Every structure is written in C-alpha cells, then in structure tokens.
C-alpha cells in the first residue's frame, strides 16, 4: 500500500514565488528605475496578483530589501582567508552585486526611502545590516562601530560611483578602495 501524500498548500511553492517576484522586481527597477517600480508593475512583471505580493511584503521597501538580501546571497570568503583577503573579497562582492542589473538602483532607492521612513530603516537594519555586521565582526575581529564604518565606506563609495557614472568601478579603483578600507582596520 502506498502511503497517502500530504496535500501541499495551494499556489506556487514559497521559494519559487520569491525567486519569481525578486527577478521581476530587479528587472522592473532596471527597466523603469526605482521610483517607477511600483507594486502594481512588479506584480504584473511577476505574473502574480498584487495581493500575493502584499501578503509577503507589506511595502515596496520591505520587498526591495529582501531582493537586495537575496541578491547578495549567502556569500562567504574563502576558507583560511586573511583580513586582507576578506576585505578584498567583500569589496569585490559588493562591486559585482551592485553592478548587476537592477541591484544597484534597488539598493540606492531603498536607502533614499529609508531616510524618511523609520519603519523601513528598521527593516533594513534587521534584514540586511545586522546579519552582515555579525558575520563581518566575527570574520574580522573588529568592534561594531569599526565594521559599520567599513560597510559605510564600501557601500557608499560603490553606490556613489554607480550613481555618478552609471558604470561599475574600474579594477584599479577596486584595488584602491580595498587598500583604503584596509587602512581603516589598522
């Protein structure tokens, strides 16, 4: 006798839906810009109802934050990496990810919105900043304030460059930024 299978919940599996919505969000931000990437347009691009999105994300900022977290993924530096290796890896990952279509604009847009939205700042802190800070603090053996400054310098510089030029950093600038950040840790 074959055991009865447990019926699955209706609709798409959560991970498939998230992947579909995240891809549609980044594509919409890339094509239309952050300001014009409305929840209606994202839902249409994802082929889902707007209510489906709002059941998972209460706001565009929450959705974009989760997109950015997903885009950066569970990256990790190579085993046995030195402090220099970790900083170089971190700068390169941020430069590469911010350079992906939609990611840089989504990242910058959600930061701008957070300036006037304390709730969104809380979402950014709990879903993006705090998990990253804890990992970096453990890897680098640095206090909270130093790790936060390191992230501010890297992310701020990379987003500024993308905003001012529309292009990712040149390799020479990536190396110079890495050296500058390493100097902060000495």
Do 101 and 174 lie in one domain? The reply is: yes
Residue 111: predicted pLDDT: 92
Do 90 and 159 lie in one domain? The reply is: yes
Do 44 and 19 lie in one domain? The reply is: yes
Nearby residues of 106 by Cβ (< 8 Å), 6 or more positions away:
25, 26, 29, 34, 37, 64, 67, 68, 71
Q: How far apart are CA 112 and CA 124, in angstroms?
A: 12
Residue 1: predicted pLDDT: 47
Domain containing 19: what range? Answer: 14-66
Do 82 and 31 lie in one domain? The reply is: no
Nearby residues of 73 by Cβ (< 8 Å), 6 or more positions away:
none
Nearby residues of 131 by Cβ (< 8 Å), 6 or more positions away:
69
Write out the two tokens for 27: 């594509």
Do 42 and 89 lie in one domain? The reply is: no
Do 126 and 158 lie in one domain? The reply is: yes
Do 24 and 99 lie in one domain? The reply is: no
Do 73 and 95 lie in one domain? The reply is: yes
**What is the chain's mean pLDDT, rounded?**
90
Do 54 and 95 lie in one domain? The reply is: no
Q: Is residue 9 part of a domain?
A: no
Separate counts of helices (H) and strands (E) for the chain: 10, 0
Mean pLDDT, residues 18-44 taken together? 97
Residue 75: predicted pLDDT: 81
Domain count, the chain: 2
In this structure, the number of other CB atoms found within 10 A of the CB of residue 136 comes to: 21
Report how far apart the first and last C-alpha atoms of the chain are (Å, whole number): 67
Residue 52: predicted pLDDT: 96
Q: How far apart are CA 42 and CA 81, in angstroms?
A: 39
Q: pTM score, two decimals?
A: 0.85
Q: Is the pLDDT of residue 7 over 50?
A: no
Write out the two tokens for 152: 């501010």
Do 37 and 118 lie in one domain? The reply is: no
pLDDT in tens, 32-51: 999 999 999 999 999 999 99
Residue 14: predicted pLDDT: 64
């Amino acid at each position: 006798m074959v055991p009865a299978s447990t019926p699955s919940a209706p609709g798409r599996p959560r991970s498939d839906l998230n992947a579909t919505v995240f891809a549609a969000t980044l594509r919409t931000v890339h094509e239309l810009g952050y300001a014009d990437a409305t929840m209606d347009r994202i839902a249409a691009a994802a082929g889902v109802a707007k209510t489906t999105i709002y059941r998972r994300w209460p706001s565009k900022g929450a959705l974009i934050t989760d997109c950015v977290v997903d885009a950066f993924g569970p990256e990790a530096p190579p085993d046995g990496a030195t402090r220099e290796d970790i900083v170089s890896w971190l700068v390169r990952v941020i430069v590469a990810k911010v350079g992906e279509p939609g990611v840089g604009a989504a990242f910058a847009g959600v930061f701008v919105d957070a300036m006037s939205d304390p709730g969104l700042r809380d979402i950014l802190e709990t879903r993006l900043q705090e998990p990253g800070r804890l990992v970096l603090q453990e890897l680098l053996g640095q206090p909270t304030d130093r790790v936060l400054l390191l992230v501010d310098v890297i992310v701020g510089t990379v987003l500024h460059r993308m905003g001012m030029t529309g292009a990712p950093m040149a390799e020479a600038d990536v190396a110079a930024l890495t050296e500058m950040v390493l100097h902060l840790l000495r």
